[in-house]
Amino acid sequence: MTLSGPFRPRFWRSPLRGPWLTAALGSVLLVLVAVVATTGFLSHVAYQPELPGNAIVDPGADLPMSFAWPAGFTYLYAITQGLHVNVGLVAIPFLLAKLWSVIPRLFAWPPVASPAQGLERLSIALLVSSAVFEFVTGVMNIQYWYAFRFNFVVAHYYGAIVFAASLVLHVALKTPVILRAYRERGVLKPLREDLARTGPEPADEHGGLVAPSPAAATLSRRGLFAVVGAGSLALLVANAGETIGGPLRRLSLLAPRRQVIGPGPNDFQVNKTAPAAGITADMTGPGYRLALRHDGREISLSREELLAMDQHTARLPIACVEGWTTTQEWTGVRLADLARTAGAAGAAPALVRSLQPRGVLGRASLNAGQLGHPDALLALKVNGADLSLDHGYPARIIVPGLPGVHNTKWVGAIEFA
């Protein structure tokens, strides 16, 4: 039979495609994706799903992967999650270029020549699907576009397992091909060719990547890398200010969290406002009491009583899972002091409950290291002023290195184990 359209090898004309180009793009992509995947799974650990009230993914259906997330590094989650989101953006142009470099393989004929090839095509389909899925859902989530109407956390997490498994398989199978391409063509040598010297790679007998009748080159290989790298840089510059903060926030022209609200002590980014969480004035008025529970006993404290306790000030970030960070100066009572007051010194974990009637994240448990850290606070003030209602008045948690939403706002009760 005669093949037509993209199934015809001569349909593919770019002189740049070949085993070296795919190996080189894939090598860069692998490094980037390794950072994104590692920080992604670290984020899962940072939520401490094994503690009461924290799990979003059903703990009975989770991988055995957890350790006590430390409070010792103030910017730990800001860094890991900042890397996850920003390196994720940087990886997108390389993912697109890598997929472009191998697109002729999608139309290989016959589609399945052997059981081995059939199996490999299945795993490639899983790899490409899960890769695109992870990037699309991640990018949509940081911009609050929930058109997919499924639980983002669950889908992104299990999608990541599909992606990681099929990626490790792919790298294992392709390592000999990558090494051969580097051995035959040199690791960086093709990057030294200018446009005039850019021609097709030597024909590969079973790869099917090198065009049999290529068009003249319009871009050198180093030109391609420069353009893809420029794309990565553009995405990074457009977003990274929301992670780094300060004056850079306004310079990131397309970052979802670039808004600067005002000069006041409470004018920094709000993850969820009081009205969105269902917080009303009577919950936080003069009748407000914080309940400390331990061993069947309960102590309740008014905000005045909390203000009368030893106050401690710390400069700590709120680091959101969406990759944005805002660092402020918080003042309040050390969680360790509250534990002592409740007769629960050293008790862990502690479940912190918000007054908010709505939302999956109306509660979060803290581990022993977090409860005992000297900068871990029940904050009453920020930048010298009372917390605003949107930032958690009358009292909120702020703990170094913690995922943003676990810094529970409008704290109604702390239950020590």
Partner 1 sequence: MRDRYGASPLHLLAHLVALPLVAFALLQIAERGDAMRIVIWLALSAVVHDLLLLPFYGLLDRAAQRAAGRSVNYVRVPLLLSGLLLLVFFPAISGKGNGAFHGVSGLDYEGYLARWLLITAALFALSGVTYLLRGRRS
Interface region with partner 1, contact rule CB under 8 A, candidates 79-87, 272-280, 282-290, 327-335: 272-280
Q: By C-beta, is 290 or 321 nearer to partner 1?
A: 321
The stretch among 224-232, 283-291, 330-338, 340-348 that binds partner 1 (CB under 8 A) is 224-232
The residue (of 67 and 150) whose beta carbon lies closer to partner 1 is: 150
* x-or-dash string of contact with partner 1, 363-402, rule CB under 8 A: ---------------------------x------------
Give me the least distance between CB of 341 and partner 1, in Å please: 33
Of 290, 333, 324, nearest to 404 by C-alpha is 324
Which range, of 27-35, 263-271, 345-353, 376-384, touches partner 1 by CB under 8 A? Answer: 263-271
193 contacts: CB under 8 Å, gap ≥ 6: 220, 221, 222
Measured from the CB atom, the residue of 120 and 204 that comes closer to partner 1 is: 120
Per CB under 8 A, contacts with partner 1 among 236-255 are: 238, 253-254
- In the complex, least distance from residue 120 CB atom to partner 1, rounded to whole angstroms: 8
Nearest distance from C-beta of residue 171 to partner 1, angstroms: 10
Taking CB under 8 A as the criterion, which residues in 334-353 touch partner 1? none
Query: What is the C-alpha R_g of the chain?
Result: 26
The residues in 158-177 that bind partner 1, with binding defined as CB under 8 A, are 158-159, 161-162, 165-166, 168-169, 172-173
Which one among 31, 65, 154, 385 touches partner 1, defined by CB under 8 A? 154
- Identify which of residues 187 and 260 has a Cβ nearer to partner 1 in the complex: 260
- How many whole angstroms separate alpha carbon 191 and alpha carbon 227? 13
What tokens does 366 get?
A: 């803290």
Residues 62-101 that bind partner 1 (CB under 8 A): 89, 92-93, 99-100
Long-range Cβ pairs for the range 38-41 (8 Å, 24+): 39/80, 39/81, 39/83, 39/84, 39/87, 40/84, 40/156, 40/160, 41/65, 41/160, 41/164
**Minimum distance between the CB of residue 158 and partner 1, rounded to whole angstroms?**
4
State in angstroms the smallest separation of the CB of 248 from partner 1.
16
**Short-list 414, 361, 376, CA closest to 55:** 361
Nearer Cβ to partner 1, position 130 or 407?
Answer: 130
Of 204-212, 269-277, 341-349, 408-416, the segment contacting partner 1 by CB under 8 A is: 269-277
Q: Which stretch binds partner 1 (CB under 8 A): 32-40, 106-114, 200-208, 365-373?
A: 106-114
* # chain residues binding partner 1, by CB under 8 A: 74
Secondary structure string (H, E, C) spanning the chain: CCCCHHHCHHHCCCCCCCHHHHHHHHHHHHHHHHHHHHHHHHHHHHCCCCCCCCCCCCHHHCCCCCCCCCCCCCCHHHHHHHHHHHHHHHHHHHHHHHHHHHHHHHCCCCCCCCHHHHHHHHHHHHHHHHHHHHHHHHHHHCCCCCCCCCCHHHHHHHHHHHHHHHHHHHHHHHHHHHHHHHHHHCCCHHHHCCHHHCCCCCCCCCCCCCCCCCCCCCCCHHHHHHHHHHHHHHHHHHHCHHHHCCCHHHHCCCCCCCCCCCCCCCCCCCCCCHHHHCCCHHHHCCCCCEEEEECCEEEEECHHHHHHCCCEEEEEEEECCCCCEEEEEEEEEEHHHHHHHCCCCCCCCEEEEECCCCCCCCEEEECHHHHHCCCCEEEEEECCEECCHHHCCCCEEECCCCEHHHCCCCEEEEEEC
Q: Which residues within the stretch 38-57 sit at the binding site for partner 1 (CB under 8 A)?
A: 57
Among residues 81, 86, 271, 370, the one that binds partner 1 under rule CB under 8 A: 271
Q: Is 191 in the site for partner 1 (CB under 8 A)?
A: no
Stretch that binds partner 1, among 146-154, 288-296, 376-384, 392-400 (CB under 8 A): 146-154
Using the minimum distance from each CB to partner 1, give the nearer residue, 143 or 300. 143
Specify the residue, 214 or 332, whose C-beta has the smaller distance to partner 1: 214
The closest of 126, 160, 162 to 42, measured between CA atoms, is: 160
Out of 203, 227, 308, 385, name the contact with partner 1 by CB under 8 A: 227
Q: Report 115-144 residues binding partner 1 (CB under 8 A).
A: 115-117, 119-120, 122-123, 125-126, 128-133, 136-137, 139-140, 143-144
Residue 230 binds partner 1 (CB under 8 A):
yes
* 113 binds partner 1, rule: CB under 8 A: yes
Residue 127 or 378 having the CB closest to partner 1: 127
